[in-house]
Chains A and B, each alone.
Chain A
Amino acid sequence: MTELLRNIGSMAINGVWRLGLAARFFALLLRYSGQAFLRFHLTIREIYYGGFLSLLIIAVSGLFVGMVLGLQGYETLQRFGSGDALGVLVALSLVRELGPVVAGLLFASRAGSAITAEIGLMKATEQLKAMDMMAVNPIARVVAPRFWAGVLSMPLLAAIFSAMGVLGGWLIGVVMIGVDEGAFWSQMQSAVDFRYDIMNGVIKSVVFGVAVSLIAVFEGYDCSPTAEGVSRAITRTVVGSALAILALDFVLTSFMFRGQS
């Protein structure tokens, strides 16, 4: 029993300790970001690897999620005789919730894990130390470009996810089931508010981008420099990012959407 309590206590202390470390790391990252922005081609290169190469999985997943929404949404809506509102349902669920959240989860597992693995292996093979010994700050040269690439890519990926989802909903609803096309688009257009729905979704995706990118670079930079250490760090990135996205989504949703519209 004492052992159990002691373990819980030590885990809690460890968790708080790591949170503090991550906060200090974030402060350092912001401090050296200026240097990284001066050489923006480094960030653009990372946007290519993290963002552009995630496009396919984001687009395909968005399409499927939209198609499922089309099927399930129509099934429920038509019970109340409002199958025409399918466009509204698909678009709102995507731009408010599923776009940022699912794109964030996919981004964490595809790009986040890759960032952690890359930085972790660079640490394990002493590349970061070598860079530091060459008077090149690894946070400015390696970490900051990857972080900002993630932050910039995430909202764009979420937007593409939502757009593909709407297309998927349209394919199922209009093309296959036969919902009236005019109603589908016009109801969507009148019900989706740019500031209230779309901008709040964009804000969410930016926050998720910061969270996922920070977790990914921190876990990579902080991992123990062994094969086991790197693999644990990747696991922590994926699990930590998923939990962070879902928890932050709840907090943000409770502030943003309170039933008035």
Chain B
Amino acid sequence: MNELKIPRINESIYHDRLENGLDVFLYPKDELEKTFAIFSTKYGSIDQKFIPLNEQEMVTVPDGIAHFLEHKMFEKEDGDVFQHFSERGASANAFTSFTQTAYLFSSTSDVKENVETLLDFVQDPYFTEESVEKEKGIIEQEIRMYDDKADWRLFFGTLGAMFEKHPVHIDIAGTVESINKITHEDLYTCYETFYHPSNMQLFIIGNFDLDEIESLVRDNQSNKSFEDQKEIERDYGDEPVQVHKQQEVIKMPVSTPKCMVAVKEKPEALQKEVLLENDLVRDIVLDLYFSKSGRYFEELYQEGLTIDTLRLEFVLEDSFGFTAVGANTMEPEKFSKRVKEMFLQIKDEEIDENDYERAKKKKYGELIREFNDIEGTANNFMQYNQMGLDFRDIFETLENLSLDRFKDNLSKWVSEEQIAICMVVPEGE
């Protein structure tokens, strides 16, 4: 395996790409009690149009299928996989995001057995017509539960306003209507295409024996056969730079209105060479202006336009990106107008050198602190690796980010056509 040093914190990760294409990262931390392992595929809710394995033509599958597939992976002919983990005192879970589906466990004993179970259950699909039908009711309940959550609706309302073609605007779980169209054949099509080892990564961090786990993973994988696969062709549509709608209003039973203002990224900001830097710039901008120590936050608070802390989000992926500021506010109209003005004026703001250095310090300290969180560390490395980037480079990128470079970056960021607004307001208004 290759040793990847992280000099800033005096630690190392070991990496190898196996013959079947699986990326394996092992990050031993002997001083901990716990081990966390995550097995993930670069396949999320946005991957609904693609060329299936061994076929020639693009197909479109029902919305919400990646999430549906995740649910069904735990069910096997002989029962529920969760049970094998819990018999060993371990806990297992899974999640589906826009761009990945991941299966994970944490344990403080029997690491070998748990890793073996993790690899085997994800690589052994078992879907039947009956079990797929049964699951529809459960997922329908999950979708309805999210339909009642105002913050969730606000977030997807904002995405819907920003994106016209790109499937990121579709709810991760799909709709009641779309999931009812899913068949077990569809699940196999998606599984065969996206769960090939060359599209997957395994990350194990915590207290385990490096050599022992390395050979376990290697043997486990070499005992299974996979046919070679080329790069998967996916279609995310031809998304224009400008937002789909400037404003979206959702009515639902809430006592306090909510509002979110978002900036859609230009495609050039998501290029591999600049993505890490842009990620940092967005993070620092939100901090400098909209966090509890931020100037705009103080203005919004004094003007009575936000009730508490702002909700800050930024996502930069290779096919889409955005930065958003949201709030619980009694005056969503005024809030959206002010925040929009703020986004547009950021590029002309004078930034004091000291303020900028303090924001960088904060970011640096946070990066160090984040390494305490082993789940977060694994996710960071995997998310960047999936885009062909190395998370370790973030330290150097941060150190090299001068104020001039930061300002130059901001000057190219926002124009009015990239801004979308979403409001959730009480019914009957």
* A in complex with B: no
